[in-house]
Amino acid sequence: MLAMGGMSRSLFLAAALGALAGLGACGSSGGPRSDGGGDAGAAGTGGAPVDGAAGGGIDAPLDAPTDAGADLAVAAGEPDAADATRLEAPGPLPDALGPDSLPAGKLSFDVTATLTISPPAGQDGAWTDFPRTIPFTFVWNASAGTAIAGAAGRAAGASVLAADDGFFRTDATLAVNVLPGTMCGPATFDNLEIVFSTDGASLTGTARGTVSYLTADTTWSAPATAVLTGKPDTTPPALSLPKSPIDPLAPLVLAASEPMPATTVASIISRATGEAPRLSATFLNGTGAAITFTAPNLALRYGDTYDVQLAPDFGGNKAVTESFTTAAPPPLVPEDGFESVTGTMFAGAGVLHGGPLTPLSGQTSLLLNTGFGGGFGFLPYDLGPSLAVRLSVSPSDTVVRFDTQLIAPDPIETAAFVGAIRVSAFPGLSPGSSTGPIGSTMNVSGTGFVKQTLPQLGDVYISPVKTVELALPPGAADQAQVVFEIVGVTFQCSQPPSPTVLVLDNLRVE
């Protein structure tokens, strides 16, 4: 039977959010090197869309904490009738810093928010398993009147004003991730307004905002308040490294566990060659802070280990040394239309050899899932979601070409293999061969499907054969080999299209 291979991905928050609203969390997999943080700005770390008013009045009083901070939150009850939207302050610390004793420079705190959620009518069940404790980093620049809050690949800034009651109040613009995310995106606490007091050695405060998370067809959001307790930042920063081994041609986007200074330098260092491409930071507008880091559009080395180097955070904490490995080199194949391939799987793809389907040419073609996990079970072939191979290249070559066809089990006008197509020079592992840029495009589409009746199996619908072309990136033809890959991308948070199958043949460099 035709089977799908390698298309599932474990849910990061299955334990934390699995029962939310009785709906399974879901999202995307395949393609990007990074597993954490969604898309992380350039990395895709923005949270799920948020419903509900930002910074509006919240009727539910703050829960009093059960530890030594209990007396600090007593004053944080119902808003006064004369100022229904005012966020009430906690009780002050005995020696709290006031407007007349502002600290110089930035203060960075490890903060814990203890949530009280006020679900809309009929949505209590949607919030049963939502985390009630949120750790995040809070950076206050008293002299500039600004603050940054961030966690798990999401951060935002706000203005800070000294209030008449001796406390400091932020705009309702802060935002953090509650956790890095389900497959549909992170759970968030945003539209966040904070009232706080600090003596420099600890922080206490209250907050309100909107908590949100996304399932396959619904964005759940609810107003929430929080009691805040904090201490000076002693937590080392970290980046959301992908699970090894990673695809050396896929985009590498690393989300930071906390907001990082604008001067932060992040690099990945090859153990094989010592090459150290510097990662580009994505900065938060107006905050002077970075939250994601992106690798340049250069192929990494196959079969190598990369050490991650990250500068200290706002609190001066040095990052823990981390590393990841890349996948082994793909096989070198002749340009024979895959006629030398044997077996039912090759280089990540299935093999079409023998009826009932007809290869595009010769005796053999390859079969891939569509990016949405397509495939239909009455055909006697295996499937795979990707293909990665090496091809020999000559100095005069300019493009890589291959022939394609789509097969669907049901009548359809148009369809597509959803995924990334990439090519780059193969750098090998020798110190003398350097990495190069990556050429890429997306998707293989088909139209004009025609019914074909298979003996004893029924009807399928087949698109005309067409040739896809991708230009070689600069310098690729100067190497002896290039790497070609086509990688399906799944989007489990949207309805999949018809389960089409991609047929591929005659892969060549010309």
Q: Within 10 Å of residue 414's Cβ, how many Cβ atoms?
A: 14
Q: Report the C-alpha gap between 311 and 314 in whole angstroms.
A: 10
Greatest mean pLDDT among 68-82, 184-198, 483-497: 184-198
Q: Residue 181's pLDDT band (boundaries 50, 70, 90)? A: low
| Per-residue H/E/C for 49-112 | CCCCCCCCCCCCCCCCCCCHHHHHCCCCCCCCHHHCCCCCCCCCCCCCCCCCCCCCCEEEEEEE
% of the chain beyond a pLDDT of 70: 76
* CB-based contact 416:423 (threshold 8 Å): no
Q: Are strands 322-325 and 280-284 parallel, antiparallel or unpaired?
A: unpaired
Beta bridge partners of 115: 226
H/E stretch holding 209 reads strand 203-214
Q: Residue 93's pLDDT band (boundaries 50, 70, 90)? A: low
**pLDDT score at 193:** 96
Q: Within 10 Å of residue 434's Cβ, how many Cβ atoms?
A: 15
CATH 2.60.40 residue ranges in the chain?
240-325
Q: Report the C-alpha gap between 281 and 84 in whole angstroms.
A: 41
Q: Does the predicted TM-score (pTM) go above 0.85?
A: no
- Least confident segment among 13-27, 118-132, 306-320, 493-507: 13-27
Q: Is residue 75's pLDDT more than 80?
A: no
Q: Is residue 50's pLDDT more than 70?
A: no
Q: Is residue 27's pLDDT more than 60?
A: no
Q: Residue 66's pLDDT band (boundaries 50, 70, 90)? A: very low
Topology of domain 345-509 in CATH is Jelly Rolls (2.60.120)
Does residue 402 or residue 408 have the better pLDDT?
Answer: 402
| Count helices and strands in the chain by DSSP H and E runs | 1, 29
% of the chain beyond a pLDDT of 90: 50
Interval 242-283: pLDDT, tens: 899 999 999 999 999 999 998 888 999 999 888 888 888 888
Q: Within 10 Å of residue 1's Cβ, how many Cβ atoms?
A: 10
Instruction: Identify the residue whose tokens are 């966040």.
Output: 192
Topology of domain 240-325 in CATH is Immunoglobulin-like (2.60.40)
**pLDDT score at 157:** 94
Average pLDDT over residues 281-310: 87
Q: How would you class 147 by CB atoms within 10 Å of its CB: exposed for 0-12, middle for 13-18, buried for 19 or more?
A: buried
Cα dihedral sign, 148-149-152-155: negative
Cis peptide before 245 (omega within 30 of 0): yes
**Residue (of 270, 273, 297) closest to 475 by Cα position:** 297
Interval 499-509: pLDDT, tens: 889 999 999 99
CATH 2.60.120 residue ranges in the chain?
345-509
User: How does the average pLDDT of the chain come out, rounded?
Assistant: 79
